[in-house]
Amino acid sequence: MLEEGYVLPSVMGYSVRTDQFRYTEWVKFQGKPQYRPVWDKQVATELYDHKKDPQENKNEASNPEYKNIVVELSKLLHGGWRNVPLKEQ
């Protein structure tokens, strides 16, 4: 239950993490009655390469060298956690 007067944010960040990367999309958020991200209304994107930059100082999302990674991680994020392949131990 939300506190009286609480206003839902109009933008939410959604992230996916791999062994090497953290990828986040900041998108418009639809409130009542569906409470869901609006994936085609992207506000910002973040991509950090933890092997090169473990402290996340340089956002690589617009770097052409990472274009394929951004596409791959975006698909993974939009697919949701139920579609993530399990990693064998």
What residues have CB less than 8 Å from 35, skipping those under 6 apart?
8, 29
> In this structure, what CATH number is given to the domain that contains residue 52?
3.30.1120.10
Structure tokens at 77: 């994020």
Asked whether residue 72 is assigned to any structural domain, the reply reads: yes
Asked whether residue 59 is assigned to any structural domain, the reply reads: yes
pLDDT at 31: 78
List, as own/partner pairs, every contact residues 39-45 make where C-beta atoms lie below 8 angstroms and the sequence separation is at least 24, other chains included. Answer: 39/78, 43/11, 45/70
Q: What domain range is 40 assigned to?
A: 11-81
Structure tokens at 87: 């990693």
Asked whether residue 50 is assigned to any structural domain, the reply reads: yes
- Tell me the C-alpha distance between 77 and 85, whole Å: 12
Tally of domains within the chain: 1
Asked whether residue 87 is assigned to any structural domain, the reply reads: no
Asked whether residue 32 is assigned to any structural domain, the reply reads: yes
> Per residue in 43-67, pLDDT tens?
999 999 999 999 999 999 999 999 9
pTM for the complete prediction?
0.82
Asked whether residue 4 is assigned to any structural domain, the reply reads: no
Asked whether residue 3 is assigned to any structural domain, the reply reads: no
Asked whether residue 6 is assigned to any structural domain, the reply reads: no
